[in-house]
């Protein structure tokens, strides 16, 4: 058998294409019953109401219609969704198949809607609510690197934010809206914006959307020193005194103050009125420390009372 020429192949392909096209258009002129998924959208007053729980994007329906109509309804890129409008949006939380059927029948007049394949769709619409709340940040919870401390006031601006969203979510907001930093092991001064979206549902709008946080951070270094103990309520004649006039102490000092420590700013006392009868000991107290000192502790928390002979 002689091989087919290239021209013969073109004729064969053309015949098949013509036949397929004829079959396709002939099929589109017939009537079919099938199931399709069709998009839906809720209709409500978007100025005063908000959807908390969305209905399905599409609902399966059983339809009968011409091939052309079915093709248009299934492959159209810009299909107009069926609009579902509850009479009482806040009170209505579901639609049954029977409730949905009129919406589809009215808005898809070129198809015969046999039935809705889905039993019930659920959704929830709430009124908007609005509240203005103070915002704050817990400075003690700011995640600092070990041996680093905040050395200034923590500035948070603005001091209040307007929240607008679903009433049920607005009612759950605390009286003071707390924010926090996501950064870890902070070892330098901080000056940056914080998105308020991180601390509440996305359905709640904030005005403004950002808060500005600023504070200074510095390293503190270990230090040890012998400090004077001041006597309180002891007799002036030195008939009663304590076993040591100075006590060892450990603390952390702000690095920039390490060579500028003023030990006169430390006030440590032993109060005779606090003497323990059992062992004549007095627990030492710290009445004053410089602001650049942290984590102060005594080598020994107690001193002994001594009576002169």
15: pLDDT confidence band, cut at 50, 70 and 90? low
More confident residue, 257 or 10: 257
C-alpha 131: how far from chain center: 18
The structure tokens listed for 161 are 């934010």
Specify the pLDDT at position 119. Answer: 86
pLDDT at 128 over 50: yes
Give the C-alpha distances (Å, rounded to integers) separating 104 from 51, 112, 237, 253, 281. 22, 9, 103, 75, 90
Calculate mean pLDDT across residues 40-47: 94
Please choose, from the candidates 120, 113, 101, 103, the residue with its C-alpha nearest in 3D space to the C-alpha of residue 42. Answer: 103
Q: Does domain 219-307 have CATH number 2.170.120.30?
A: yes
Residue 143 CA to residue 217 CA, distance in Å, equals 11
pLDDT at 47 over 70: yes
Calculate mean pLDDT across residues 229-241: 93
Calculate mean pLDDT across residues 24-52: 79
Calculate mean pLDDT across residues 77-85: 84
- pTM for the model stands at 0.67
pLDDT at 9 over 80: no
pLDDT at 118 over 60: yes
pLDDT at 1 over 50: no
Specify the pLDDT at position 227. Answer: 96
Specify the pLDDT at position 67. Answer: 66
Residue written as token pair 């005194």: 241
pLDDT at 297 over 70: yes
143: pLDDT confidence band, cut at 50, 70 and 90? very high
Calculate mean pLDDT across residues 251-280: 94
pLDDT at 21 over 70: no
Calculate mean pLDDT across residues 246-264: 95
The CATH number of the structural domain formed by 126-215 is 2.170.120.40
pLDDT at 232 over 80: yes
**DSSP assigned state of 144:** B
Torsion, Cα of 58, 60, 61, 62 (10° steps): 150
Q: What is the mean pLDDT of the chain?
A: 87
Specify the pLDDT at position 14. Answer: 47
29: pLDDT confidence band, cut at 50, 70 and 90? low
What is the tens place of the pLDDT at every residue in 213-228? 999 999 999 999 999 9
Residue 284 CA to residue 14 CA, distance in Å, equals 106
Specify the pLDDT at position 155. Answer: 95
Specify the pLDDT at position 27. Answer: 43
Specify the pLDDT at position 301. Answer: 93
Specify the pLDDT at position 106. Answer: 94
pLDDT at 149 over 60: yes
The domain spans of the chain are 24-122, 126-215, 219-307
Q: Residue 202: count other Cβ atoms within 10 Å of its Cβ.
A: 7
Residue 241 CA to residue 127 CA, distance in Å, equals 74
Q: In the chain, what percentage of residues exceed pLDDT 70?
A: 87
Please choose, from the candidates 52, 54, 55, 53, the residue with its C-alpha nearest in 3D space to the C-alpha of residue 121. Answer: 55
What is the tens place of the pLDDT at every residue in 53-63? 999 999 998 88
């Amino acid at each position: 058998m002689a091989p087919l020429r290239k021209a013969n192949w073109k004729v064969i392909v053309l015949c098949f294409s013509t036949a397929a096209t004829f079959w396709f258009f002939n099929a589109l002129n017939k009537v079919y019953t099938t199931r399709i998924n069709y998009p839906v959208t809720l209709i409500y007053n978007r100025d005063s109401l908000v959807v908390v729980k969305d209905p399905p994007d599409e609902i399966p329906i059983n339809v009968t219609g011409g091939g052309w109509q079915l093709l248009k309804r299934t492959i159209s890129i810009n299909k107009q969704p069926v609009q579902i409008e509850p009479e009482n949006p806040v009170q209505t939380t579901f639609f049954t198949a029977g409730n949905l059927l009129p919406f589809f029948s009215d808005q898809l007049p070129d198809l015969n809607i046999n039935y809705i394949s889905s039993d019930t769709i659920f959704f929830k619409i709430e009124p908007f609510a609005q509240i203005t709340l103070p915002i704050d940040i817990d400075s003690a919870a700011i995640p600092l690197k070990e041996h680093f401390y905040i050395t200034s006031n923590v500035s948070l601006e603005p001091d209040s934010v307007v929240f607008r969203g679903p009433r049920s979510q607005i009612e759950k907001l605390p009286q003071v809206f707390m924010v926090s930093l996501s950064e870890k092991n902070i070892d330098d001064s901080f000056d940056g914006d914080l998105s308020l979206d991180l601390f509440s549902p996305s359905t709640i709008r904030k005005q403004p959307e950002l808060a500005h946080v600023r504070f200074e951070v510095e390293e503190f270094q270990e230090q040890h020193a012998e400090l004077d103990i001041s006597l309180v309520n002891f007799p002036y004649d030195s008939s009663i005194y304590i076993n040591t006039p100075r006590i060892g102490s450990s603390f952390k000092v702000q690095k920039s103050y390490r060579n500028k420590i003023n030990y006169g700013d430390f006030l440590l006392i032993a109060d005779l009125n606090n003497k323990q009868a059992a062992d004549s000991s007095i627990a030492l107290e710290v009445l004053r420390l410089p602001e650049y000192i942290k984590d102060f502790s005594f080598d020994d928390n107690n001193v002994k009372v001594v009576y002169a002979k």
